[in-house]
Amino acid sequence: MFYIGVQDPVSEEYYTYTGERQYYFNWDAVYSPITDWHCVMINYDSFKWREVKCLFPKLALCSKTILREYLSSYFDRVLVGKALTGYEASVLENLSFIRCAFACQMNVRCKSINHDVTSRRCTINSETAETYPSNVAIAPTVSYYTVFI
């Protein structure tokens, strides 16, 4: 598991390993407070925060939220109105672009994504349009993004 932040049992506030105070919203429905150290992790299935028990403070994976500016440096090529076909590693429904990008970061096979702004369909691709240009199709509501490696 990767932890985002750790709670101090004395102050009951969340901090990252750098000591920055963190605020978490959008908690998972199964969230329930527990004693001792609490570690905060993202529930990948629902993209909601979940608090889990940890016996000692753990290092946080990151200390900042994902920002669109960061994502623009994570993806180095954008094809508006096009999609890569035939190399779908995973298809996720009803995701915003930010969540689609996050899902790509969490999938080791992700080399590019197609995101449909109308249906909010996120396709994680195991290949790129640069490698397979003949598999790029016109898709008016889709944008294609290549991961910067």
Instruction: Assess whether pLDDT exceeds 50 at residue 69.
Output: no
| Per-residue pLDDT tens digits for 15-36 | 665 666 766 666 666 655 555 5
Place of tokens 């930010």: 98
Q: Copy the structure tokens of residue 77.
A: 């090529």
87, 122: one domain: yes
Q: Give residue 13's domain range.
A: 5-53
pLDDT of residue 111: 92
CATH code of the domain containing 78: 3.50.4.10
**pTM for the model:** 0.55
The reported pLDDT for the residue numbered 99 is: 83
Tens of pLDDT, residue by residue over 124-142, are: 999 999 999 999 999 999 9
* 73: in domain: yes
Quick one: 9 and 40 in the same domain?
A: yes
Cβ atoms within 10 Å of 69's Cβ, excluding its own: 8
Closest CA to 40 of 20, 65, 18, 58: 58
Question: What is the total count of domains within the chain?
Answer: 2
Note whether 48 and 103 are same-domain residues: no
Q: Is residue 60 in some structural domain?
A: no
Instruction: Determine how many CB atoms are found less than 10 A away from the CB of residue 111.
Output: 20
Q: 93 and 128 share a domain? A: yes
* pLDDT over 50 at 53, yes or no: yes
Residue 73 shares a structural domain with residue 32 = no
- Domain presence at residue 120: yes
